[in-house]
Structure 1
Amino acid sequence: MAVDERVRGVLELTRPVNALVAGILTFTGAFIAQGSELVGSAESVTIAALVTVLATGAGNAINDYFDREVDQITNPERPLPRGAVTPRTTLLFSAILFILAGGLSLTLPPIAIAIALINIGLLVIYTPLLKGLPGVGNAAIAYLGGSAFLFGGAAVESLTAPGILFAIATLATFSREVIKDVEDLAGDQENDLKTLPIVIGTHRALVGAAVVLCLMALLIPLPYLYGTLGRLYLVLVVPATLAMLYAGWISFTDPTRGQSVLKYGTFLTAAAFIGGRLATIT
């Protein structure tokens, strides 16, 4: 096998775009926390973003390692099924990235170190232990996605605003993961998976997702009430919130569209936080 194919396969294991986006979310959390004062914390923020990219890449690689047999049927184009990399190489590569991420995190403030180590632990055990547990796997993915914002705030030792965004993103992502499980119901039943909709029924699962979205909506005004973000934040976040609540509603009849609208609503919420922080600078 050509060397460039092996290199390409190793890079693909990390899902590079996914990993880079996670790093950007960490930077976003730090920016929301500090605004223009972020320049003074550039080193910590850069390290935190790099830790996120490395840990996310490692998590994607080890997920492929554990899913290699299933992927031979469902995702044969991935590096392991197509033979671009070996299981041993995948496991070693993942371990190296995890060690680099953990080592770099030790240069950050204590709360950031704790978040990094917890997240690395979850990434390692997700596929073999948590993925198959109804609701638990959804919650783990939701936490890991939202924690990128929290980690950015922890890197600059300011958790209020990024902490709220973390909670909002985590709740929204949990709802989206449940809705996606409803969307994938037929395939999951065929593969004998035990997702939340299969265990408790699709209607109950969608009701649960909608309730979580309502809880999320209650958090939306907090940055304004705390005085962290101004009125522009409210102007920007209201349509995002309405979009996410609408997503929960239409998911009862069209889960595919619902989870898609919810994803964009989450991005709009993050944009509202950024816009609200920019307004406090200018």
Structure 2
Amino acid sequence: MNYLKLIRYQNLLLIALVQIFIKYGLFNPFGAHTILNDFGFILLLVATLCIAAGGNIINDIYDVAIDRINKPEKLLIGKKISEKSAFRFYILLNMLGVGIGFYLSNAIGRPAFSAMFIIFSALLYLYASYLKGILLIDNILISALVAMSLLIVPVFDILPVINAGNRPLQIGIFKIVWHYTLFAFLINFIREIVKDIQDINGDKNGNLNTLPIAIGRKRTNGIVFILGVLAIFGSVFYTYNFLYNHTFLMLYFLFFVIAPLLYFCYAVWDAKTKKNYALLSNLLKIIMLLGMCSIPLFQFMLN
């Protein structure tokens, strides 16, 4: 169980769920031309989860001193799992992820795609070991990598089989995933900043240069509010322009994405304590989940 906590299995389950939604709740109902069979998709899923799990482990290895202050009750490395064992597990997961990615890329006739897994693994290591100390770069990087866990599905599954005959359909489906990728990036970016406010004491001790350390908690709250408003306007724009004629989907976005975002923006003004920011972080995770759960609902547009 300790190793499951170390890899943050709840976050990995969310990644797996979203990729399954994209493959079976979007591609299949819309009749997209795909190259991955069920086994190939499972390989893509496993490779993605291995790289993501490895990133969580190496992050915890480098954050031991900070986590002793920010979340001592959740500290695993050095307490329940030795650093040596954790690092070995990290190496194993990355070898599996890159190896499976290499095999899958060659199996679909796109060997160059294997570089993605190497790059993702390297960036996660750089994030944990060096980039985390650079203002906003760490937030942008980790949010982009989370978003790429969505985009990698159409890249591997529909991009290799695009041709003149199916291009409009393939590109249309790709655009839907791209819109969700942008949503995932923005929500995760906001959440990363909220977590930085929550962890400000430990981050100071670790000599990190996060946004709340650089400009203060109150100003960072204002930036988080503005980003939340941006997420609301983006969601409203998307709902109006793409879902206006599809009542069920429009209502889903209004009640399960836009309404919680409105509450988030309201709540962030009064947030002051670590508990407040923990609740806001969890709210953003729920908004992310609810947003991703709308992917299989797009098949209702076909009726």
Q: TM-score with structure 1 length normalisation?
A: 0.80
1:236-263 Cα offsets, whole Å, 9 max, x none, are: 1122123213312320212534333333
Q: Does 2:67 align with 1:66?
A: no
Task: Report the residue type matching 2:61 in the other structure.
Answer: Y
Distance between the aligned counterparts of 2:4 and 2:211, measured in 1? 33
Go from structure 1 to structure 2 and tell me whether the alpha carbon gap of 1:274 and 1:219 turns closer, same or farther (over 3 Å shift). Answer: farther
Query: Against the structure 1 CA distance between its residues 218 and 117, is the aligned structure 2 distance closer, same or farther, given a 3 Å change threshold?
Result: farther
Structure-2 residue corresponding to 1:130? 131
Identity of aligned residues (%): 20
> Aligned residue for 2:164?
none
Aligned mates of 2:266, 2:119 — CA distance in 1: 34
Displacement of 1:167: 0.5
Question: Aligned to 2:268, which of 251, 255, 261?
Answer: 251
Structure-to-structure mapping, 1:110-189, within 5 angstroms: 110=110, 113=114, 115-157=116-158, 159-189=174-204
Return the match for 2:40 from 24, 44, 52. Answer: 44
- Following the alignment from structure 2 to structure 1, what is the Cα–Cα distance between the partners of residues 41 and 234? 26
Equivalent residues in 2 for 1:29-108, closer than 5 Å: 29-31=22-24, 33-36=26-29, 37=31, 41=36, 42-71=38-67, 74-75=71-72, 78-82=75-79, 84-85=81-82, 87-106=83-102, 107-108=104-105
Question: 2: distance between equivalents of 1:38 and 1:15?
Answer: 32
1:18 aligns with 2:11: yes
Q: After TM superposition, give the deviation of residue 51 of structure 1 in Å.
A: 1.3
Q: Give the alignment partner of residue 291 of structure 2, picking from 264, 269, 273.
A: 269
Query: How far did 1:69 drift?
Result: 4.4
Deviation of 1:174 after TM superposition, in Å, equals 0.9
Aligned to 2:167: none
Work out the CA distance in 1 between the residues paired with 2:202 and 2:292. Answer: 32
Distance 1:141 1:232, change over 3 A: same
- Partner SS state of residue 148, structure 2: helix
- State the Cα deviation string for residues 62-94 of structure 1 (Å, max 9, x = none): 223223444456537644312533x33322321
1:66 and 1:89 map into 2 onto residues whose CA distance is: 14
Aligned partner of 1:75: which letter?
P
Query: Is residue 28 of structure 1 aligned with residue 21 of structure 2?
Result: yes
RMSD: 3.2
Q: Superposed, which structure 2 residues align to 1:218-257 within 5 Å?
A: 218-220=233-235, 221-222=237-238, 225=241, 230-239=246-255, 240-254=257-271, 255-256=276-277, 257=279
Q: Deviations over 1:20-77 (max 9, x none)?
A: 3322222233345414347964233222211122112211222232234444565376
The equivalent of 1:194 in structure 2 is 209
**Matching residue of 1:5:** none
In the alignment, which residue of structure 2 is the partner of 1:279?
300
For structure 2, which runs of at least 5 residues remain unmatched after alignment? Answer: 159-172
- With a CA cutoff of 8 Å and minimum separation of 6, indicate the structure with the bigger relative contact order: 2
**Partner SS, residue 159 of structure 1:** helix
Contact 1:28 1:274 in 2 (8 A): yes
CA contact (8 A) 1:32 1:161 kept: no
- CA separation of 1:250 and 1:161: change in aligned 2, threshold 3 A: same
Q: Post-superposition shift, 1:13?
A: 3.2
